Amino acid sequence: MDCIFCKIVAGEIPSTKVYEDDTVLAFKDLNPTAPVHILVIPKTHIASAADIDESNSAVIAHIFEVAAVIAKEQGLDDGFRIVNNCGELGGQTVKHLHFHLLGGRKFDWPAG
C-alpha cells in the first residue's frame, strides 16, 4: 500500500520518534506549526476518523492515553491541542489516521 505513514511505521521512511509501543507510534511533524507538533498514529492502517468503528476503536482510546503521557513529557502543563483533520473538507492530506498534538503556544478558537 502506498501510504507514507505505513512506511514510517515499517521504518522505510525516516522519522523522529518520540513514543512507540505495539500499537501506537508518535513522531515529530515534518512541518511543525507550533513549538511542539507531534503526530500520534495507530500502527495499523486506518484511513481516517470516518473509518473508526467498534473493530478498531480500542487503539483510539490508547492514542489518547499516549498523547497525555507525551504532553506531560513535553512539559505542556498549561495546555495543548489535539487535532484530527478528516476528509477533504476537514483538510486531511495524509490518508492514514493521525492526531496532531500541538503545544508551546496559544491557540485560537474557533479554528479557521
Binding site for ligand AMP (CB under 6 A): 4, 13, 15, 29-31, 39, 85, 91-94
What whole-number distance in Å separates Cα of residue 38 and Cα of residue 74? 10
DSSP state of 51: G
- The reply on whether position 98 binds Zn ion by CB under 5 A is no
Q: Which does 94 bind (CB under 5 to 8 A by kind): ligand AMP, Zn ion, none?
A: ligand AMP
List b or e across 7-37, with b for residues whose CB sees 16 or more CB atoms inside 10 angstroms.
ebbeeeeebeebeeeeebbbbebeeeebebb
Instruction: State in angstroms the smallest separation of the CB of 3 from Zn ion.
Output: 3
Q: Is 98 a catalytic residue?
A: yes
Stretch that binds Zn ion, among 12-20, 25-33, 51-59, 90-98 (CB under 5 A): 90-98
DSSP 8-state code for residue 17: E
- Residue 30 vs 50, nearer CB to ligand AMP: 30
Q: Which three cell numbers stand for residue 76?
A: 505542556
| Residue 81 binds Zn ion (CB under 5 A) | no
Q: Which residues are catalytic?
A: 98
